[in-house]
Chain A
Amino acid sequence: MFRSDYDSDISIWSPQGRIHQIEYAMEAVKQGSASVGLKSKTHAVVAAVKRASSELGSNQQKVFRIDDHLAISMSGLTADGRVLTKYLRNECLNHKFVYEQPMPVSKLVVQLADKSQVHTQQSGRRPYGVGLLVIGYDENGPHLYETSPSGNYYDYKAQAIGNRFQSARTYLEKTYETFDDATPEELIRHSLLALRETVQTSSSSSSSTPNEGITSKNAVVAIVGRDQKLTIYENEELIPFLAGIETSGAAAGENTATSMEE
């Protein structure tokens, strides 16, 4: 990896006007398995690939419930993500107590971004090594935000982060125009199809690498929306949704290489 004389401190600029430590932290996000988020006019969905350390180990948790109307999916250092989870849950609880009303998603994301920003400037600290996709539903409808270690945050219609996120994003860019009026089931289907892009090797050499793709064991989906509390689908609960994507990908002309092999 590129190293520089100016990369040892979070608060030192390089002559090119960059702060390398922050950029390294953003790289950590790409090391984590992918998370995909998307939303319609009424619902927001997030999906993620849960890696397992070994055959015998459990799959790591990727999606965390923050409140009844809010969830995050993390890519990067999960340990850092859990710290943020604790913070977000606490902020939501506090808000509910003080204002007797659920936390607005935008307000929470700004607070989180501000917290991350502090860690890019204060000496003796390091930036969080985790990127989050935040989904939520509030007075202003469904939301999808991405937050990053740099303290930046973005509002999205659809977005993917983590390992091979670009493949998922390509899928989302192709299909996002249909999301607005999509049903919750369609949104989940799209999220899984996008997620599948990040684990599948689409080239012909894939036959030699063991690749199960998206399974009920290594995927997780969360949805929240109008008249729907946050629901997280894992394990057996995912099977019906996975059944929906098995054929549809090939039918739509996607992943032709894979389908030809079968």
Chain B
Amino acid sequence: MDSSYGLDLNKPLYDGRYSWFDHSKFGGTVYEPKPNDPSTRTTDPIVTGTSVLAVKYKGGVAIAADTLLSYGSLARFRDIRRIHKLNEHTIIGSSGEYSDFQYITRMLDDVVTDNHIADNNLQPMDPKSIFSYLSRVMYQRRNKQDPLYNNIVVAGYRNGESFLGSVDLLGTHYQDDHIATGFGDHIARPLLRNAYKPDLTKEEAVKLLEKCLTVLFYRDARAYYRVQICTIGEDGVNIAEPQVLQTDWSVGNVTYGYDGRRTALPQA
């Protein structure tokens, strides 16, 4: 059996720069900056978080993400929280470029504080309004050809009403009963769609997200087994401490592609 797994071992694996996107495969070339070149925009994210999952339940919303930040395919930071509380009614989670998420977090913290102060009755901002504001910012940045490389999930609960929305780097935004970003939109979303019902309890919702995260950890090479499953609802905001998923890899031996084999197991 060929031990190089199809790689040309004479080529260097690392050329001094990392990009998860192989431009050469699509007729592009890797950009080499020279001293007097014009300024450029970010074209790929550098440090990224993977999927964010969220589902509405009766009396609130559950939102979950793992704690891994990847540097390309390298699992670079393993205890970073990607779910942030904005006020008593709103939390957000982010997949994509983490530095952009830090920027968004600070910006929204300011907006929420300003609006809180502007309102003489000192009512915290509505999740719907925060979501709308964020959507406008994301779309404006896209139109400046300088997008914030994230897909943000906004979860909220106010006046007995749950809110769940997503906005991406293009400014595309929508609301739904359940949302998953990134690879999770492919892997976890069908599971959420099957399991979702309007009278889901909080415990069921948390269990459901835990299952989805586990499946994602099995299938998404950028996912991690350390996760946070947070809730916002009748009983307030709960930004949960990270927990460890229970996994069972015994199926790996019979799974195609699991250990780097290029072909299915030979029939005995």
Q: Residues of A with Cβ closer than 8 Å to B?
A: 97-101, 104, 106-107, 110, 139-140
The CA of A159 and the CA of B133, in the complex, are separated in Å by 36
Tell whether A140 pairs with B133 under 8 Å between CB atoms, given A101-B128, A107-B118, A110-B118: no
The CA of A104 and the CA of B129, in the complex, are separated in Å by 12
Select B120's contact among A99, A101, A106, beta carbons within 8 Å.
Answer: A106
Write the nearest CB–CB distance from A105 to chain B, whole angstroms: 9
Report the 5 A-B pairs with minimum CB-CB distance, sorted nearest first: A100-B132, A99-B129, A106-B120, A107-B118, A140-B121
Is B120 a contact partner of A97 (Cβ separation < 8 A)?
no
The CA of A97 and the CA of B133, in the complex, are separated in Å by 9
Interface centre among A99, A100, A104, A139 (most CB of B within 10 A): A99
Is B129 a contact partner of A107 (Cβ separation < 8 A)?
no
B19 at the interface (CB under 8 A from A): no
Write the nearest CB–CB distance from A91 to chain B, whole angstroms: 12
The CA of A140 and the CA of B123, in the complex, are separated in Å by 9
Q: Among residues 170 to 202 in chain B, which have CB atoms less than 8 Å away from a CB atom of chain A?
A: none
Complex contacts, A99 vs chain B, CB 8 Å? 126, 129, 132-133
Query: Mostly helix, strand, loop or mixed at chain B's interface?
Result: helix
Is A107 a contact partner of B119 (Cβ separation < 8 A)?
yes
Q: Among residues 123 to 142 in chain B, which have CB atoms less than 8 Å away from a CB atom of chain A?
A: 123, 126, 128-129, 132-133, 136
Complex contacts, A110 vs chain B, CB 8 Å? 118
Is B119 a contact partner of A106 (Cβ separation < 8 A)?
yes
The CA of A100 and the CA of B123, in the complex, are separated in Å by 17
Is A101 a contact partner of B123 (Cβ separation < 8 A)?
no
Chain B residue at smallest Cβ distance from A110: B118
Is A106 a contact partner of B121 (Cβ separation < 8 A)?
yes
Chain A residue at smallest Cβ distance from B130: A99
Is A101 a contact partner of B118 (Cβ separation < 8 A)?
no
17 contacts across the A-B interface (CB closer than 8 A)? A98-B132, A99-B126, A99-B129, A99-B132, A99-B133, A100-B129, A101-B126, A101-B128, A101-B129, A101-B132, A104-B118, A106-B119, A106-B120, A106-B121, A107-B115, A107-B119, A140-B121
The CA of A100 and the CA of B175, in the complex, are separated in Å by 14
Complex contacts, B118 vs chain A, CB 8 Å? 104, 106-107, 110
Write the nearest CB–CB distance from B129 to chain A, whole angstroms: 4
Complex contacts, B126 vs chain A, CB 8 Å? 99, 101
Complex contacts, A97 vs chain B, CB 8 Å? 136
The CA of A100 and the CA of B115, in the complex, are separated in Å by 14
Complex contacts, B133 vs chain A, CB 8 Å? 98-99
Q: Residues of B with Cβ closer than 8 Å to A?
A: 115, 118-121, 123, 126, 128-129, 132-133, 136
Interface centre among B119, B123, B133 (most CB of A within 10 A): B119
Complex contacts, B123 vs chain A, CB 8 Å? 139-140
* Given pairs A97-B136, A98-B136, A106-B121, 5 additional interface contacts (CB within 8 A): A100-B132, A106-B118, A106-B119, A140-B119, A140-B123
Write the nearest CB–CB distance from B246 to chain A, whole angstroms: 41
Is B119 a contact partner of A104 (Cβ separation < 8 A)?
yes
Chain A residue at smallest Cβ distance from B126: A101
Write the nearest CB–CB distance from A67 to chain B, whole angstroms: 16
Write the nearest CB–CB distance from B220 to chain A, whole angstroms: 33
The CA of A99 and the CA of B126, in the complex, are separated in Å by 9
Write the nearest CB–CB distance from A82 to chain B, whole angstroms: 25
Chain B residue at smallest Cβ distance from A107: B118
Write the nearest CB–CB distance from B223 to chain A, whole angstroms: 33
Chain A residue at smallest Cβ distance from B131: A100
The CA of A107 and the CA of B114, in the complex, are separated in Å by 11
Chain A residue at smallest Cβ distance from B136: A98
Write the nearest CB–CB distance from B22 to chain A, whole angstroms: 39
The CA of A176 and the CA of B105, in the complex, are separated in Å by 47
Complex contacts, A100 vs chain B, CB 8 Å? 128-129, 132
Complex contacts, B136 vs chain A, CB 8 Å? 97-98
The CA of A42 and the CA of B153, in the complex, are separated in Å by 36
Write the nearest CB–CB distance from A13 to chain B, whole angstroms: 30
The CA of A101 and the CA of B136, in the complex, are separated in Å by 14
Complex contacts, A98 vs chain B, CB 8 Å? 132-133, 136
Chain B residue at smallest Cβ distance from A105: B120
The CA of A110 and the CA of B118, in the complex, are separated in Å by 8
Complex contacts, B128 vs chain A, CB 8 Å? 100-101
The CA of A139 and the CA of B115, in the complex, are separated in Å by 14
Complex contacts, A101 vs chain B, CB 8 Å? 126, 128-129, 132
The CA of A203 and the CA of B120, in the complex, are separated in Å by 44
The CA of A110 and the CA of B121, in the complex, are separated in Å by 13
Write the nearest CB–CB distance from B212 to chain A, whole angstroms: 30
Complex contacts, B121 vs chain A, CB 8 Å? 106, 140
Interface centre among B120, B123, B133 (most CB of A within 10 A): B120
Write the nearest CB–CB distance from A209 to chain B, whole angstroms: 44
